[in-house]
């Protein structure tokens, strides 16, 4: 069933569908399984890097930039087209339907941009946002530190003002995409004497040069998708401080709380694909007739459909002009806890076959071994399940702090 | 499909909630628990006449109000929240949908207007106990039994499903014996019915019953949603005020996290019930999957919420005096009625081709 979003949106959808059909390079959809991109700890689409290096992807990227369909939610003056969340949702649905990728600018689009749009000066917006749209600036996140994860406001990385520059020194950790990034958005302490939430600043620093070193952290999966970073007097202009000195906590919270529902109706797709892959695996191992396995598969399918129904409901609320609040925490808690359980179910389905890894250098794993191991991270990163439950209890239910 | 609640729907919800708060608060529910019939005929008449609740989703051509199942789901949620005691589910959901999905035109015209008006309390006798239907010189006769019939003792019209057909049996039909049963959940009434050469009118083939039961599954899930929300609300309200160690127990993460998990489950149930109600309204081909998964999940949610509500209340939650056990018992009834979660998950597995 499709949500009735009114004639304007129906027209937008039809136009967009025609545009995609006319502009998507032939063969783009077949390059890889684009819809599973961004699954940390999921299904890793095979050959993603090769697909993104393909001329057809590059051509598609140019088409989208020219059509202002990269960061389309941003104002026109910075490269977007002020697209609202409902149209973003339709955009995601239509791209998924056609099997073509959205070109997304990672943390620059999802984290830095929203904070800049809310807190930065017009000059800062004009300087930083277009560079994110074009892909010139690729950001990584400098929030967590070895001693400070959930208690983010206690970060110790120092930011010292020196003339018209700020000098950042400290250690950050759990940085994904460090190798691709040329910029880092960092939360650092600029007033050590202020209460912990009041002495922080949000700074965009260059993530290049001899003052920056990083090294990969090998995870329990055997892969190394995150880094730890050493910032040794990294200099940035004071104009790179967003929201003003010592106002970083508010800016960072904008980043974390930014969820407008644009992905509400496509978030379940990767889990749906994964579910049917597990059904295939169950059949392959002759496990699909086992009553317990059938219960587990039906449970998993139920969870995926609940994500879909809730997504449609969220979109309906956004279309009514309501801003999603603690729903973002509920969504994150739901899928991350689901995915851990799905990994356990998958290993139950494959049974003792899951005890043996494929041969090869390093620590290669099967698809389900990888899901089983990698899904443990989902309930930890971007706010642990415990933090999400605190947010839900305090902000949605009003329980006392 | 339009999932956002309209102004009209909000007003419907508010009026049903106010009606139940005025006419059948939990103090009244407790009194009804001890009566033989288990319901208040005066409140039932008002619910039918003044509010028109049984008519709500019945098409106008059969004397109904012609709203949709989406509006009925709102009514059911409120009934579930209030632990309403009465034959609404049996008559306006089970029997009405059995007729709508199975019966021929004549039988629909014969029964639905009275069900819509509340003049007839009808029920649907389900089960796999032995029951034979025989054509005795032009009169069909039923012999056998149905052991657990919702509101079977007070119904004026008993619809009986066999593998092939749906039959209508009048309350005064000879050879029908109805024995009210002592229920664990005293807010729901069951009767055991035996039929001995009981004359019955065939109303249609049983083939449509699967759809009727899918609709009923979502309807029951809507009631379960209301019950689960009520249990969560009670737990949260108590956690905010009850103090131990000089602080509200709601400041403890052990309590907070339980409540947060319950909210996730209640909100997910709400999404499924809404989506399912639209699947009924649009006569969508998604109904066969959304129905079993919604019933299974709503059962788990209500059971969890009702159990956790007792735990969060501590000692007072274990008393007869406190209302927590009423929801706990209702949750168990609803979980088992129309198929338990495992049965619905197996049905789902089959329907998605596993």
Quickly state the pLDDT bin for A309 (edges 50, 70, 90).
very high
Cα(B144)–Cα(B131) distance, integer angstroms: 4
Q: Dihedral sign, CA of B224, B227, B233, B238? A: negative
Mean pLDDT (chain B) is 97
Q: Dihedral sign, CA of B301, B307, B308, B309? A: positive
Do A295 and B346 lie within an 8 Å CB cutoff?
A: yes
Which residues in A209-224 are b (16+ Cβ under 10 Å) and which e?
eebbebeeeebebebe
Digit-coded pLDDT (tens) for A180-190:
999 999 999 99
Are A65 and A102 a contacting pair, CB within 8 Å? Answer: no
Digit-coded pLDDT (tens) for B48-65:
999 999 999 999 999 999
Closest CA–CA distance from residue B264 to any residue of chain A (Å): 6
How large is the ipTM?
Answer: 0.95
Quickly state the pLDDT bin for B4 (edges 50, 70, 90).
confident
One DSSP character per residue, B38-87 reads -S-HHHHHHHHHTS-TTTTTS-GGGT-----HHHHHHHHHHHHHTT--ST
Residue B83: half-sphere exposure toward Cβ, Cα within 13 Å: 31
Number of C-beta neighbours around residue B294 at 10 A: 33
Q: What is the pLDDT of residue A258?
A: 47
Q: Does B252 touch chain A (CB under 8 A)?
A: no
Q: What is the pLDDT of residue A37?
A: 60
Quickly state the pLDDT bin for A18 (edges 50, 70, 90).
very high
Digit-coded pLDDT (tens) for A324-363:
778 889 999 999 999 999 999 999 999 999 999 999 999 9
Q: What angle is formed at CA A385 by the lines to CA A370 and CA A400, rounded to 5 degrees?
A: 180
Do A1 and B279 lie within an 8 Å CB cutoff?
A: yes
Are A186 and A172 a contacting pair, CB within 8 Å? Answer: yes
Are A119 and A251 a contacting pair, CB within 8 Å? Answer: yes
Cα(A338)–Cα(A323) distance, integer angstroms: 25
Do A1 and B286 lie within an 8 Å CB cutoff?
A: yes
Digit-coded pLDDT (tens) for B200-231:
999 999 999 999 999 999 999 999 999 999 99
Shortest CB distance from B256 goes to which of A279, A301, A393?
A: A393
Cα(B19)–Cα(B89) distance, integer angstroms: 17
Q: What is the mean pLDDT of residues B325-351?
A: 98
**Could you give the 3-state DSSP secondary structure of residue A400?**
coil
Q: What is the mean pLDDT of residues B177-188?
A: 97
Closest CA–CA distance from residue A335 to any residue of chain B (Å): 11
Cα(A87)–Cα(A95) distance, integer angstroms: 12
Do A302 and B348 lie within an 8 Å CB cutoff?
A: yes
Do A389 and B257 lie within an 8 Å CB cutoff?
A: yes
Mean pLDDT (chain A) is 92
Give yes or no for residue A225 having a pLDDT over 80: yes
Give yes or no for residue A45 having a pLDDT over 60: no
Element spanning A175, H or E:
strand A165-176
| Range list of β-strands (E), B79-224 | 122-125, 131-136, 139-150, 157-161, 165-170, 176-180, 190-205
Helix axes B209-241, B253-281, angle to 10 degrees: 150
Q: What is the pLDDT of residue A41?
A: 42
Q: What is the pLDDT of residue A326?
A: 80
Percent of chain A with pLDDT over 90: 79
Number of C-beta neighbours around residue B339 at 10 A: 20
Q: What is the pLDDT of residue A44?
A: 52
Q: What is the pLDDT of residue A319?
A: 87
Digit-coded pLDDT (tens) for A103-128:
989 899 989 999 999 999 999 999 99
Element spanning B107, H or E:
helix B105-117
CA distances from A139 to A122, A205, B279 (A): 20, 9, 44
Q: What is the pLDDT of residue A382?
A: 85
Do A330 and B271 lie within an 8 Å CB cutoff?
A: no
Q: Does B259 touch chain A (CB under 8 A)?
A: yes
Shortest CB distance from A298 goes to which of B2, B290, B348?
A: B348
Question: Comparing A144-153, B72-81, B232-241, B339-348, which segment has the lowest mean pLDDT?
Answer: A144-153
Which residue is listed with tokens 């009041």? A198
Closest CA–CA distance from residue A311 to any residue of chain B (Å): 9
The more confidently predicted of residues A266 and B289 is B289
Give yes or no for residue A139 having a pLDDT over 70: yes
Question: Comparing A142-156, B15-29, B110-124, B251-265, which segment has the lowest mean pLDDT?
Answer: A142-156
Please state the φ and ψ torsions of residue A373, each to the nearest 5 degrees.
-80, -50
DSSP state of A376: G
Q: What is the pLDDT of residue A2?
A: 85
Shortest CB distance from A316 goes to which of B4, B268, B286?
A: B4
Return the residue of A nearest to B275 by Cα.
Answer: A309
Give strand pairing partners of B193.
B146, B178
Cα(B147)–Cα(B194) distance, integer angstroms: 8
Q: What is the pLDDT of residue A39?
A: 44
Do B236 and A400 lie within an 8 Å CB cutoff?
A: no
Active site residues of A: 259
Digit-coded pLDDT (tens) for A89-105:
999 999 999 999 999 89
Q: What is the mean pLDDT of residues A196-203?
A: 96
Cβ contacts of A1 on chain B, cutoff 8 Å? 1, 275, 278-279, 282, 284, 286
Mutation target to probe the A interface, by most A beta carbons within 10 A, among B68, B271, B285 is B271
Cα(B70)–Cα(B60) distance, integer angstroms: 16
Q: What is the mean pLDDT of residues B138-161?
A: 97
Cβ contacts of A319 on chain B, cutoff 8 Å? 4
Tokens describing residue B145: 């039994």
Do A306 and B268 lie within an 8 Å CB cutoff?
A: yes
Give yes or no for residue A388 having a pLDDT over 90: yes
**Could you give the 3-state DSSP secondary structure of residue A343?**
helix
User: What is the number of H-type helices and E-type strands within chain A?
Assistant: 13, 8
Shortest CB distance from B259 goes to which of A302, A327, A397?
A: A397
Closest CA–CA distance from residue A183 to any residue of chain B (Å): 36
Give yes or no for residue A261 having a pLDDT over 80: no
Give yes or no for residue A42 having a pLDDT over 60: no
């Amino acid at each position: 069933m499709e949500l009735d979003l009114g004639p304007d949106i129906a027209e937008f959808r039809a136009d967009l569908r025609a545009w995609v059909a006319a502009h998507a390079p032939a063969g783009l959809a077949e390059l890889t399984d684009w819809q599973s991109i961004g699954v940390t700890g999921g299904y890793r689409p095979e050959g993603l890097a090769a697909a993104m290096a393909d001329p057809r992807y590059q051509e598609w990227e140019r088409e989208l930039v020219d059509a202002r369909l990269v960061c389309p939610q941003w104002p026109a003056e910075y490269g977007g087209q002020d697209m609202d969340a409902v149209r973003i949702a339709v955009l995601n649905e239509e791209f998924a339907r056609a099997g073509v990728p959205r070109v997304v600018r990672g943390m620059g689009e999802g984290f830095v941009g929203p904070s800049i749009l809310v807190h930065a000066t017009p000059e800062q917006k004009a300087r930083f946002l277009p560079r994110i749209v074009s892909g010139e600036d690729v950001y990584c996140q400098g929030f967590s530190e070895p001693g400070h994860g959930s208690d983010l406001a206690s970060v110790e990385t120092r930011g010292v003002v020196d003339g018209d520059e700020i000098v950042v020194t400290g250690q950050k950790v759990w940085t994904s995409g460090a190798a691709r990034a040329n910029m880092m958005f960092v939360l650092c302490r600029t007033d050590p004497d202020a209460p912990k939430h009041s002495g922080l600043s949000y700074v965009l620093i260059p993530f290049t040069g001899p003052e920056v070193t990083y090294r990969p952290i090998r995870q329990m999966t055997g892969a190394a998708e995150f880094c730890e970073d050493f910032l040794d007097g990294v200099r940035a202009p004071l104009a790179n401080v967003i929201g003003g000195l010592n106002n970083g906590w508010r800016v960072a919270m904008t980043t974390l709380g930014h969820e407008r529902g644009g992905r509400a109706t496509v978030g379940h797709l990767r889990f749906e694909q994964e579910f049917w892959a597990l059904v295939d695996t169950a059949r392959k191992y002759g496990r699909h007739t086992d009553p317990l396995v059938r219960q587990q598969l039906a449970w998993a399918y139920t969870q995926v459909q609940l994500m879909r129904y809730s997504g449609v409901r969220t979109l309906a609320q956004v279309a009514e002009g309501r801003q999603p609040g603690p729903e973002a925490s509920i969504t994150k808690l739901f899928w991350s806890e689901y995915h851990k359980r799905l990994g356990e179910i998958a290993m139950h389905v494959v049974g003792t076959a899951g005890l043996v890894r494929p041969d090869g250098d390093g620590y290669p794993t099967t698809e389900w071994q990888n899901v089983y191991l990698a899904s443990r991270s989902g309930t930890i990163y971007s706010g642990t399940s415990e933090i999400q439950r605190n947010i839900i209890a305090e902000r949605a239910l009003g329980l006392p702090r | 499909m339009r999932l956002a609640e309209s102004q009209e729907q909000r007003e419907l919800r508010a009026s049903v909630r106010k009606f139940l708060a005025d006419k059948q608060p939990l103090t009244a529910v407790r009194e009804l628990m001890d009566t033989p019939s288990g319901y208040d005929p005066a409140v039932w008449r008002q619910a039918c006449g003044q509010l028109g609740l049984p008519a709500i989703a019945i098409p106008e051509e059969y004397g109904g109000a012609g709203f949709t199942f989406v509006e009925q789901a709102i009514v059911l949620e409120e009934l579930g929240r209030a632990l309403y005691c009465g034959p609404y589910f049996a008559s306006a959901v089970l029997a009405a949908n059995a007729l709508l999905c199975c019966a021929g035109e004549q039988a629909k015209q014969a029964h639905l207007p009275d069900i819509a008006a509340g003049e007839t309390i009808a029920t649907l006798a389900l089960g796999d106990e032995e029951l034979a239907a025989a054509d005795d010189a032009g009169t069909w006769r039923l012999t056998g039994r149905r052991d657990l019939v919702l509101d079977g003792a007070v119904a004026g019209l008993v619809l009986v499903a066999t593998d092939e057909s749906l039959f209508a049996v009048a309350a005064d039909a000879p050879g029908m014996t109805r024995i009210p049963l002592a229920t664990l959940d005293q807010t729901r009434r069951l009767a055991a019915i035996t039929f001995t050469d009981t004359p019955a009118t065939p109303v249609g083939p049983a083939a449509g019953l699967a759809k009727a039961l899918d609709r009923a599954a979502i309807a029951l899930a809507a009631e379960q949603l209301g019950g689960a929300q009520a249990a969560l609300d009670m737990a949260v309200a108590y956690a905010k005020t009850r103090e131990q160690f000089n602080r509200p127990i709601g400041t403890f993460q052990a309590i907070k996290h339980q409540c947060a998990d319950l909210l996730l489950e209640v909100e997910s149930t709400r999404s499924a019930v809404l989506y399912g109600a639209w699947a009924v309204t649009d006569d969508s081909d998604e109904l066969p999957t959304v129905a079993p998964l919604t019933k299974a999940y709503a059962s788990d949610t209500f059971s969890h919420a009702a159990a956790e509500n007792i735990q969060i209340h501590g000692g007072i939650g274990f008393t007869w005096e406190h209302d927590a056990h009423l929801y706990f018992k209702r949750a168990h009834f609803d979980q088992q009625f129309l198929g338990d979660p495992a049965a619905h998950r197996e049905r789902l597995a089959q329907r998605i081709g596993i």
